[in-house]
Amino acid sequence: MRYIILIALVFFAFAEVNAQDLASYIQEAEKNNPEFQAFELRYNIAEEKVNEVNSLPNTEFNFGVMAIAPEMDMPMEQFSASVMQMLPWFGTISARENYASSIAEAQYVDIAIAKRKLSLSVSQSYYKLYAIRAKQLILDENIELLQTYERLALTSLEVGKASAVDVLRLQIRQNELVQQKEVLEQGFQAEQTLFNNLLNREENMSVDVVEEMMIPDVDPLVLNENLQINPELIKYDKLYESVEQSELLNQKESGPMVGFGVQYINQENSPMITSSFKDMVMPMLSISIPIFNNKYKSVTRQNELKQLEIKFQKEDRLNKLETLLAQGLYNRNATRIKFNVQTDNLKQAIDAEEILMKNYETGTIDFNDVLDVQELQLKFQINLIDSIKEYFTEYALINYLTR
């Protein structure tokens, strides 16, 4: 049927079939896309940081040997060895782990954001490919229709009811449609390359798209409150939490460090000391106190400013997302209005064509009117396809913002 776009489809049935095809492409993109893989590696690195900070400071070993003995009768040590382990203040290591974990959680949100953006790009490219293929099908149907009209014109020419000019005009119109179809094919190849690049696969791999789509009778419910769970906003919450953990760590690191160790001293043989006092073992205790703590005060102030910055950044991004959602809803609703008007116009153009065909049966037909009606039909059919593509493109954006 030349007005294939008017075929009634049950939206949810379509959505299930289409979503299955599109979902498989999205899954392939998530699996192969290098940017997405880079985000996952970045998250893995952040996770590994937790193990990095879960460690004590380096253990200190010291060893000394008396290289030149002094000319003294006093007993002198031959060598000494010591070991010292510094320990951070209570809770410092846990604070480091919590801070590293909070950074990893923020990195994990980046994966969710990248996943949504990738899904949006694949969906929008898919709908462009659908529109191009649908237009090519419409052009094929219109070319066949013009060929039918051409045969009618040739028959009318034989009986003197049409002129050779009518036949030529019909042929010229066919050539124009063939040209449009070839141009669309070039556009399809370019968009297919973009689509395949999103999936990180060979550029010339074929992409299968559905031939028919229909705007649903009822728009899915959209809740503005769902914007609050958008990963782009959650990212700011995670960053805010990481700054809180950074401040807790800063407070712990501003405390003293305690070190425990032991020193062993070996002395040379001497008649002045007994053998029981020849070797000595000395336990050691060390305390490191940050008396000059301006550094930690400065970090606290920096963290306070960072939290204010993150708060304002979140408010700004929320405003922008709300604007995008409002614009998307407006565009979606406007597209529905255009779709309904173009549907009515196409029906009227089809009725006009039927009237012309009935006139042909009575022996009178104006091929100028035939061409005019055909051009109108094609215009309305193309507009319908564009409306469907724009509707689902906007729906993909709304989905990105609120699902």
Asked whether the beta carbons of 85 and 55 are under 8 A apart, the reply is no
Of 228, 209, 136, nearest in space to 392 by CA: 209
Query: How, if at all, do strands 60-65 and 279-288 pair?
Result: unpaired
Question: pLDDT, tens digit, for every residue of 319-338?
Answer: 999 999 999 999 999 999 99
Q: 285 φ, ψ to 5°?
A: -130, 130
- CA dist 241 and 243 (Å) reads 5
Residue indicated by tokens 């669309």: 184
- pLDDT at position 4 over 50: no
**Closest C-alpha among 141, 137, 148 to residue 367:** 148
Over residues 72-82, mean pLDDT: 69
pTM for the structure as a whole: 0.81
Q: Over the stretch 14-56, which tens digit does the pLDDT of each residue have?
A: 333 443 489 899 999 989 988 878 888 888 888 888 887 877 7
Long-range contacts of 365-370 (CB under 8 A, 24+ apart): 365/152, 365/156, 365/161, 365/162, 367/149, 367/153, 367/156, 367/162, 367/166, 367/169, 367/170, 368/166, 368/169, 370/149, 370/170
Closest among 394, 358, 367, 89 to 249, alpha carbons compared: 89
Confidence (pLDDT) at 20: 45
- Closest residue by Cα to residue 207 from 264, 299, 272, 133: 133
Query: Scanning the structure block, which residue is given the tokens 């993109």?
Result: 29
| Amino acid of residue 368 | N
Query: Is 296:250 a contact under the CB 8 Å cutoff?
Result: yes
DSSP calls for 305-343: HHHHHHHHHHHHHHHHHHHHHHHHHHHHHHHHHHHHHHH
pLDDT tens for 234-269 read 999 999 999 999 999 888 888 888 888 888 887 766
State which fold the 22-32+88-255+290-402 domain adopts. Answer: Outer membrane efflux proteins (OEP) (1.20.1600)
